[in-house]
Structure 1
Amino acid sequence: MEQSDAPAVVDALGEQAEDLAHIHDHITRVIANLDIPDDAFSGYDEPNRADYELEPVVLAFLYKEARDLNSENELARRLNSAAYIYVRFGLENPLIQATINRNWRKRFSHSERNTIKKAGSRIREICQEHGLVSEDEPALDPSDIRANDNIEEEQIMDAVKRATELGFQNFSADRASNAKYALEAYFERQGYLNMSNAATTTPRRRFARLSGRDEVPHGSSHNRTMKKVADPETQTELGDFQGGKTPEWRRIRDTVLPAFHQGVEQQLDEIAGRDRQGIRQPVKAAIDITTFNFWPSPTKDEEDVGEGELPVNNGKGPFYPKEDFPETVSGFKDQKKKETERGYKFATITIVAEDTPIILGIEPVRDYSWWERKKKEDVVTTSRAGIVKRLLEQAEQHVEIHKLFCDREFDIHEIRDIADRKQIQYVIGKRSQSNEDFRNIEEIKESLVYDTRIEHAWVHCDGRRHKVSIIYVPGGEYSQFTVNGWVEPGRAEVLIDQYRHRWQIENQYKSIKEHFLPKTSTKDYRVRFLYFVVGVVMHNVWRLTNFILRDEVEGDLGENPPLPGGEIVELVGFCLFDPGG
């Protein structure tokens, strides 16, 4: 390649990075998805003798420059790190330092090496502008890796079947003894719908081909059966649930979750049976809230307003709320779009850090929304402290919790009180809400000596008082965290570093929404809650399947999934349940 071609290559890679920065959430994923022009790096005169294909090697060197790594040794360490970066770049195995050095010196001309350096610098600048540069690497996503050829289809099918039996076999419904289809047939179909992001009214032809059953349930029959699974009382009418009244949606939770927890216990037993150590306890866990979007507007169009109907004004201006709008739908802010959206909210507690990330508990979330007819004080909602208490109770059915990570939405004294009384170490994000917070941050910014600060304080709750450390650390603007007890700088640094494990739960929500939730427009809270629970079961099944298959994959992938969520869609019809039933 001639030197005159270098600016064009840098521009082309920069344009790609600009486009990819709007799609991906991290600089490493941007680099991994670059398309290297075929003729961009042709200086190597013996391509047939190369041990590695050109494009993965170029991506590795672009990564070194874009991440501003100081040495080839550091690149080798990163490629072999817990995030398995080499997998994203299409390398068969991580490169050692000697291989990196040889490729850099022998495979690329002087001008090509300069091109890589300039392109890497351009990519870094673009990703910094989009806020995609952080110290850690993102965990593997289902789309990052394909199952290796040495995993036989039969092994995959056996693993999926085993994992799914553990997840679904405890669900039941009050159905007639002469029902045409076994309940397993409906969960087989529901698993397919969840993983293929399909609607319950999807035509049956493709599912029938996959299923292997002589006949498969129709969509309308399927909907009725799913409602019965989540129905606390046989005689309860659909209309009783439409409003999402507090007693009903809490009873729906209590109806569905026992079967879910039996499945979790069996999945954990399966892990322990295959690994003598099982889940290493006590575990680190994260709590967060995710959403299941509901798109219809809560207010009436002008032509739908009845004659003489009076508007509601609760501070947002006069409006006419829909009478049948579900009360369990909440408003929330989409942080990326910077827009207000609506949906059903669910909180989960998940094992994070080194262990297989199994979801241990689910709680419905009921928040007050501006469009409600009632005043805020007249609406029964779920407090964040109540959610954390119930999630910990659910998780403690299965494991012992050692550390708990929560974001600033859970910056509440009652939650700290709950964790302290359970002797659980917590790290909770803190809002900047006092003049003292702002003063401390300003003092840190002006200091020439230190950029982190720890303040010791007491919090009071129900007559009890607890020691709390408030930690101010740099990150964009300054981030603040609270931990229980009065900690010193060394201990604080370790805890904040471990807090980064909480980000795994956000990748988990992304996977559930992308791979394991069906399309639906239903307002029925029974259906929405059950669909989300089934999606969580399928996520746990996927994680367990990957745990079962990990020894069949070349290279040590640890707990990271070798089987993408999307790939097991084709196996659902064959493997979820015995086609006989």
Structure 2
Amino acid sequence: MTEEDSQSLENRLVSQAANLFDIHESISRVIEDLSLPFEEVHDAYNITTSDSFEFESMVRLFLYKEVAELSQKQLSERIETWPYLQLRFGFDRPPTQQAISYTIRNRFSAEFRRLLNRVADRIRSAGEQHRVQTHAAHSPNANPSPDEIAESSQPLYQYVDEQAPGVIESMLNDVAPALDTGRSHNVVHEDETVWEHQLLMSLMDTAGTRSAHRSFNKFRENALHHDTHVRAVKKLGTPSGYQYTFDDFPTGSDEKRPVPDWRRVADTVQDQFGDAVDQMLDTVASGEMFSEPVAAAIDVTNVPYHVTPWKGDTDVVSDNEEPIMVHGTPKYPKENYPEMVNGGEEDEAYEYQYATLTIVGRNTPLVIAVEPIRHNSRWERDGESVSWAEVVDRLMAQATELVDIHLVMADRAFDQHGVFHVLDQYYDVDYLIPKKKNSERLRRDAADVRNDPAVTARVEQDAALYLRNSTPYIDPEADETVDENGYSHDVTLMHVPAQRNDWIVRHEDDTGYALFATNRDDVSPLDAEGLVNRYSDRWDIEIEYKMITPLVPSIASTDYRMRFFSFAFSCLLYNLWRLVDHSLKVLATEKFDGYGRGTHEERLDPVLPLADFLASSIVLLFRAGLDPPDVTP
């Protein structure tokens, strides 16, 4: 293996591990799920007997040893004492210290050992960045912690496997009726069949309605046709009793029934999304593992759209077309390009964008509000733009119908006076939002803290927030929540050492600082770091997007009813998984005396992986509909 190949392999393994730390909070689970490229590495011991251990198992064990910084003796004792490690790494019996030592010396080449050592060091660093405990410094005791019980050889996961189908089926039956296409009662295919089809689309990486139909429904008689699915979803996304007007028929459009205004579509889908989430919350709200008021996080994700808004050279048919200059180059926008596609951060990136509000912290993370994002893009001459303040207002309006909220966190894109005013004055909730990196106040305060070694945090209270006539979404003169001279409320600014790169502004001495804004007025310098540490709860939403966006099916239709519903449905799938996992944890708590979350502990690791939930869901949905195989007498 060349040095370049070795470096490439190292980078791929570390990248995998970093992504897995977003899902698992256990180093053994991360190493268990690593995809090891054994086509690129070879066992130096080419004799296999009934007594030899699998090479792959020994590689995973060695990585675990190095990441956890265990001696060979500690490792052999650990894998013998904790049988779950044997199962995760693929052993049928625990290897002895002698077997471990022999493998390292004889089956791992010196080059391969050096590679694994480098990978282990970087995986350990990645775990520490994700706040995952990588050191296994203690042995099992008579009173194991919930995490140890969850990862033991006790039959917890066997119990979960037995209970999961019933819980999943119950959840699907409870939530599905909240989604109503509004079609007549004598249709051939009930709504439940439509949602089966939508689920199939989410299970396939690049599945549109036609692809899902070809892949799965060929096994069924009288299967739902993809056109029927499209019509049903469009019916759901069309406002009840909607009357088309001449404005709905743009010049040059050949659609017989054009798409209603995107805002009306969003309102209609959001109403049904909210009903479904309400059903879900009933499942968890009464339990001890869920408490209100909740902390919430707001963020934005995107779904790529791979069609350019610009005409090709051969498509420009008139000299009268007015170009738009892009980096000094004249470009001509297409007519009837989807209005909800926004320009990404890069020039050639185009995407549908959505904002979500998610319950975070100790509670089960659930997406409880979704909102489309509409921005005027460079190819639009007079396109509509919706301010972040309005987006936050609409998210909060949806969410507060379902739960009580006491704290809202968002990233620095929401560092705007209008957003602060909406949260403080319209909803009376606390907020915690980092200031933008180009903040003059941030640079000034950073210098003060850096030059005074006795200061670790600086808090400025009673910083008056004033709104101007130019503040998006808020009319200071007409809004009754705005006081004289545009005064909104007092803001507390907290300048603290940064814990994450996306918070910070770095200086020449490489010291990181962050400035956060909150409307709480009781924060002292001693309290500041503790409050800011709560911002790490917002990481739930980053993990959430990594799970939701792969569930959004790739569809060709630009009909916004299809687009927005597909995203909302994917959020519901994510919520269903979280709820099923929550319910299984409740059952496990009742079944196993030692299992459960302590008073000061964070959430327990999932007991049902997302992939298992999706696979089980599809089996349950098809169980009644699959036709039996032909039987030969």
TM-score (norm 2): 0.71
Q: Work out which of the two has the higher radius of gyration on C-alpha atoms and give 1 or 2.
A: 2
**Aligned match of 1:96:** none
Deviation at 1:328, TM superposition (A): 1.0
From 211, 219, 227, the equivalent of 1:220 is 227
From 304, 329, 335, the equivalent of 1:323 is 335
Tell whether the 8 Å contact from 1:165 to 1:576 is kept in structure 2 after alignment: no
Deviation at 1:256, TM superposition (A): 1.6
Residue 512 (str. 1) matches residue 545 (str. 2): no
Question: Given the superposition, is the C-alpha separation of residues 537 and 134 from structure 1 closer, same or farther in structure 2, using an over 3 Å criterion?
Answer: same
**Aligned match of 2:526:** 490
Tell whether the 8 Å contact from 1:167 to 1:537 is kept in structure 2 after alignment: no
Alpha-carbon displacement from aligned partner over 1:152-194 (angstroms, at most 9, x marks no partner): 7664332222112222212222434432211221111112212
Q: Structure 2: how far apart are the matches of 1:9 and 1:319?
A: 46
What is the identity, as a one-letter code, of the residue corresponding to 1:425? Answer: D
What is the identity, as a one-letter code, of the residue corresponding to 1:222? Answer: H
From 370, 375, 385, the equivalent of 2:378 is 370
Question: Given the superposition, is the C-alpha separation of residues 13 and 316 from structure 1 closer, same or farther in structure 2, using an over 3 Å criterion?
Answer: closer
- Between 1:347-356 and 1:13-22, the stretch displaced more is 13-22
**Aligned match of 2:300:** 289
**Aligned match of 1:207:** 216
Identity, in percent, stands at: 26
Alpha-carbon displacement from aligned partner over 1:375-409 (angstroms, at most 9, x marks no partner): xxxx4322111111221221111211122110001
What is the identity, as a one-letter code, of the residue corresponding to 2:12? Answer: D
Q: Structure 2: how far apart are the matches of 1:241 and 1:387?
A: 27
Tell whether the 8 Å contact from 2:193 to 2:224 is kept in structure 1 after alignment: yes
The 5 Å alignment of 1:63-212 reads 63-65=67-69, 90=88, 108=101, 122-123=118-119, 134=129, 136-137=131-132, 150-151=158-159, 155-197=163-205, 198-202=207-211, 204=213, 206-208=215-217
Q: Structure 1: how far apart are the matches of 2:12 and 2:197?
A: 37
What is the identity, as a one-letter code, of the residue corresponding to 2:336? Answer: D
Alpha-carbon displacement from aligned partner over 1:535-577 (angstroms, at most 9, x marks no partner): 1111111111222233459995855333333334444444349
Residue 263 (str. 1) matches residue 238 (str. 2): no
**Aligned match of 2:139:** none
Deviation at 1:330, TM superposition (A): 0.5
Tell whether the 8 Å contact from 2:303 to 2:351 is kept in structure 1 after alignment: yes
Question: Given the superposition, is the C-alpha separation of residues 191 and 383 from structure 1 closer, same or farther in structure 2, using an over 3 Å criterion?
Answer: same
Question: Given the superposition, is the C-alpha separation of residues 179 and 246 from structure 1 closer, same or farther in structure 2, using an over 3 Å criterion?
Answer: closer
What is the identity, as a one-letter code, of the residue corresponding to 1:470? Answer: M
**Aligned match of 2:494:** 470
Tell whether the 8 Å contact from 1:355 to 1:559 is kept in structure 2 after alignment: no
Query: More relative contact order in 1 or in 2 (CA 8 Å, sep 6+)?
Result: 1
Tell whether the 8 Å contact from 2:375 to 2:386 is kept in structure 1 after alignment: yes
Q: Structure 2: how far apart are the matches of 1:206 and 1:247?
A: 31
**Aligned match of 1:566:** 611
| SS of corresponding position for 2:518 | strand
**Aligned match of 1:400:** 404
Residue 431 (str. 1) matches residue 436 (str. 2): yes
Question: Given the superposition, is the C-alpha separation of residues 38 and 447 from structure 1 closer, same or farther in structure 2, using an over 3 Å criterion?
Answer: farther
Residue 409 (str. 1) matches residue 413 (str. 2): yes
Tell whether the 8 Å contact from 1:350 to 1:505 is kept in structure 2 after alignment: yes
Tell whether the 8 Å contact from 1:361 to 1:394 is kept in structure 2 after alignment: yes
Residue 253 (str. 1) matches residue 266 (str. 2): yes
What is the identity, as a one-letter code, of the residue corresponding to 1:63? Answer: V
Alpha-carbon displacement from aligned partner over 1:318-337 (angstroms, at most 9, x marks no partner): 2110001011110122xxxx
Question: Given the superposition, is the C-alpha separation of residues 296 and 10 from structure 1 closer, same or farther in structure 2, using an over 3 Å criterion?
Answer: closer
Residue 33 (str. 1) matches residue 41 (str. 2): no
Deviation at 1:424, TM superposition (A): 2.0
Q: Structure 2: how far apart are the matches of 1:87 and 1:297?
A: 50
Deviation at 1:214, TM superposition (A): 3.8
Question: Given the superposition, is the C-alpha separation of residues 556 and 23 from structure 1 closer, same or farther in structure 2, using an over 3 Å criterion?
Answer: same
Q: Structure 2: how far apart are the matches of 1:55 and 1:523?
A: 48
Question: Given the superposition, is the C-alpha separation of residues 506 and 240 from structure 1 closer, same or farther in structure 2, using an over 3 Å criterion?
Answer: farther
| SS of corresponding position for 2:300 | strand
| SS of corresponding position for 1:201 | helix
What is the identity, as a one-letter code, of the residue corresponding to 1:329? Answer: V
TM-score (norm 1): 0.77
Question: Given the superposition, is the C-alpha separation of residues 539 and 265 from structure 1 closer, same or farther in structure 2, using an over 3 Å criterion?
Answer: same
Q: Structure 2: how far apart are the matches of 1:249 and 1:361?
A: 17
Deviation at 1:480, TM superposition (A): 2.7
Q: Structure 2: how far apart are the matches of 1:518 and 1:576?
A: 18
**Aligned match of 2:26:** none
Q: Structure 2: how far apart are the matches of 1:419 and 1:104?
A: 59
Question: Given the superposition, is the C-alpha separation of residues 34 and 203 from structure 1 closer, same or farther in structure 2, using an over 3 Å criterion?
Answer: closer
Question: Given the superposition, is the C-alpha separation of residues 349 and 28 from structure 1 closer, same or farther in structure 2, using an over 3 Å criterion?
Answer: closer
| SS of corresponding position for 2:209 | coil
Tell whether the 8 Å contact from 2:285 to 2:291 is kept in structure 1 after alignment: no
Question: Given the superposition, is the C-alpha separation of residues 366 and 513 from structure 1 closer, same or farther in structure 2, using an over 3 Å criterion?
Answer: same
Deviation at 1:433, TM superposition (A): 2.6
Tell whether the 8 Å contact from 2:217 to 2:224 is kept in structure 1 after alignment: no
Residue 19 (str. 1) matches residue 9 (str. 2): no
| SS of corresponding position for 1:349 | strand
**Aligned match of 1:544:** 579
What is the identity, as a one-letter code, of the residue corresponding to 1:564? Answer: P
Tell whether the 8 Å contact from 1:17 to 1:34 is kept in structure 2 after alignment: no
Q: Structure 2: how far apart are the matches of 1:155 and 1:513?
A: 28
What is the identity, as a one-letter code, of the residue corresponding to 1:253? Answer: A
Question: Given the superposition, is the C-alpha separation of residues 61 and 116 from structure 1 closer, same or farther in structure 2, using an over 3 Å criterion?
Answer: farther
**Aligned match of 1:95:** none
Question: Given the superposition, is the C-alpha separation of residues 578 and 394 from structure 1 closer, same or farther in structure 2, using an over 3 Å criterion?
Answer: farther
From 454, 458, 466, the equivalent of 1:460 is 466
> Please, which runs of 5 or more residues in structure 1 have no aligned partner?
1-7, 81-85, 93-98
Q: Structure 2: how far apart are the matches of 1:450 and 1:60?
A: 40
Deviation at 1:471, TM superposition (A): 2.2
Deviation at 1:196, TM superposition (A): 2.7
> Please, which runs of 5 or more residues in structure 2 have no aligned partner?
23-29, 134-146, 468-481, 507-511, 597-602, 626-633
Tell whether the 8 Å contact from 1:61 to 1:116 is kept in structure 2 after alignment: no
What is the identity, as a one-letter code, of the residue corresponding to 1:161? Answer: E
- Aligned residue pair count: 527
Deviation at 1:425, TM superposition (A): 2.2
Alpha-carbon displacement from aligned partner over 1:410-463 (angstroms, at most 9, x marks no partner): 001222223323332221121023433223324444554445443443322432
**Aligned match of 1:83:** none
Deviation at 1:369, TM superposition (A): 0.9
| SS of corresponding position for 1:204 | helix
Q: Structure 1: how far apart are the matches of 2:605 and 2:623?
A: 28
What is the identity, as a one-letter code, of the residue corresponding to 2:583? Answer: I
Q: Structure 1: how far apart are the matches of 2:85 and 2:18?
A: 18
- Between 1:251-260 and 1:227-236, the stretch displaced more is 227-236
